[in-house]
């Protein structure tokens, strides 16, 4: 892959305020990352430090490798982390709307779930244009409007790829990224989303077109950041390279599946990108930035300014049948029309083997005084570089149980993690 990074000390000083969002600015308590001012749907305002202060942030040493600047919310016990190497602070447990909002649960239940989440410190709410054919976004938007919470107090993410039946209503063309996001904003009744995700890679759209379109919607105030979902490491690197080559805005995080039996991407591939792109120490000179070779990527000083974090989903996929003695209950999402593939997956031979291993974790859960679900969520949170784990729940009671994983996280000692790895027998190892 040809990589060219055209950055000099001068154009670093003249980068736009939107581009500045992609660089870390460590300080006491971390950054906010949200727009100034409140009000439902108000677009983000301008402002920010001048060129001199931006240049100063460039020369500031990076945080220690792998460090997620974590803080605990007052009164809620929720933990907050930076989204990748950006300054945006997100709750380490977020709420997803896949399957549930606009489909599996009623609007009243959805409002109860969202209210409990917000009151317990959850500030990250994730949806997508494809969820329930747009109904999930509409339900979320109605609830947010009814609650009247300050827009600056929560983070909304949506994903763009599958928007409709027409050929031009799907994919990552400039046309669909812009029009798809405008459609999402209309359903959400918002002026902007905090993060727009590309909901898979698109071989039909040139990478430059994708990155330019994402930069455009951010510059237009329709989004504050952009990220990728289910992209490969090489594709993420290409997006970063394209952004730096043309002075555009790179993605801040990858949204990836993670659970007890889906580990390699989050534990091996993404941390490698996090360090390679995000944690390299600055070079004493900027003169060598003109045209690095692909092999010298990890040693380039500009790369320490970036960093791909991860937001993960489906932490409990492997536990669908574990507490139901091997059967799939009628209330499970695997029984919903259109999700037969999920039921087949958990009832397959491989699925049954996974369930047996999950049952082996019961003694550890009992020892820690928690449920297997809480243990599985805490296990996901302990992964390096994970900014937030998205929860999918069908009731407020289930959400409260899952939020209990925060208390379990502090009990996951290295010895306990090693014991879990031994029972699972699937810890990924470097291929080097």
Q: Which residue has the tokens 């999930």?
A: 136
Q: 50: which residues sit within 8 A by CB, 6+ positions away?
A: none
Cross-strand partners of 79: 72
For residues 197 and 411, give the distance between their C-alpha atoms in angstroms, rounded to a whole number.
33
The catalytically annotated residue of 80, 131, 154, 225 is 131
Please report which helix (H) or strand (E) contains residue 391, including its range: strand 386-391
Cross-strand partners of 418: none
Half-sphere exposure of 60 (CA within 13 A, CB side): 15
Half-sphere exposure of 263 (CA within 13 A, CB side): 16
Give me the numbers of helices (H) and strands (E) for the chain, helices first please.
17, 11
Is 225 assigned a catalytic role? no
DSSP string, 16-77: -HHHHTTS----TT----SPSS-STTPPP------HHHHHHHHHSPPPPTT----EE-TTT-
Which are the catalytic amino acids?
Answer: 131
């Amino acid at each position: 892959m040809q990589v060219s990074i055209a950055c000099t000390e001068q154009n670093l000083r003249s980068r736009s305020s939107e581009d500045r969002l992609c660089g870390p600015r460590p300080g006491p308590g971390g950054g906010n990352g949200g727009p100034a001012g409140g009000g439902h749907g108000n677009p983000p305002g301008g402002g920010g430090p001048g060129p001199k202060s931006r240049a100063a942030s460039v020369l500031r040493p990076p945080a220690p490798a792998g460090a997620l600047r974590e803080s605990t919310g007052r009164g809620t016990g929720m933990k907050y982390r930076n989204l990748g190497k950006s300054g945006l602070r997100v709750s380490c447990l977020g709420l997803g709307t896949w399957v549930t909002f606009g489909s599996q649960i009623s609007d009243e239940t959805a409002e109860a779930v969202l209210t409990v989440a917000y009151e317990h410190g959850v500030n990250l709410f994730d949806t997508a244009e494809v969820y329930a054919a747009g109904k999930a976004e509409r339900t979320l938007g109605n609830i947010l409007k009814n609650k009247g919470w300050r827009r600056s107090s929560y983070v909304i993410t949506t994903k763009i790829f599958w928007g409709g039946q027409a050929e031009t209503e799907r994919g990552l063309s400039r046309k669909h990224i812009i029009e798809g996001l405008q459609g999402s904003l209309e359903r959400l009744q918002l002026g902007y989303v905090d993060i727009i995700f590309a909901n898979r890679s698109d071989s039909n759209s040139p990478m430059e077109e994708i990155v330019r379109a994402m930069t455009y919607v951010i510059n237009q105030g329709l989004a504050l950041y952009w990220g990728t979902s289910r992209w490969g490491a090489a594709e993420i690197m290409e997006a970063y390279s394209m952004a730096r080559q043309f002075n555009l805005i790179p993605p801040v995080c990858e949204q990836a599946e993670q659970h007890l039996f889906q580990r390699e991407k989050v534990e091996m591939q993404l941390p490698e990108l996090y360090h390679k792109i995000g944690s390299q120490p600055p070079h004493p000179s900027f003169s060598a930035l003109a045209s690095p070779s692909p092999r010298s990527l990890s040693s380039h000083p500009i790369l320490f300014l970036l960093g791909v974090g991860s937001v993960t989903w489906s932490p409990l996929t492997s536990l669908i049948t574990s507490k139901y003695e091997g059967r799939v209950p009628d209330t499970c999402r695997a029984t919903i029309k259109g999700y037969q593939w999920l039921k087949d997956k958990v009832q397959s031979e491989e699925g049954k083997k996974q369930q047996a291993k999950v049952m082996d974790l019961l003694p550890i859960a009992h020892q820690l005084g928690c449920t297997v679900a809480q243990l599985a969520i805490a296990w996901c949170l302990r992964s390096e570089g994970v900014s937030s784990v998205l929860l999918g729940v069908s009731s407020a009671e289930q959400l409260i149980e899952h939020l209990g994983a925060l208390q379990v996280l502090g009990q996951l000692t290295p010895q306990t993690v090693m014991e879990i790895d031994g029972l699972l027998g699937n810890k990924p190892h470097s291929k080097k």
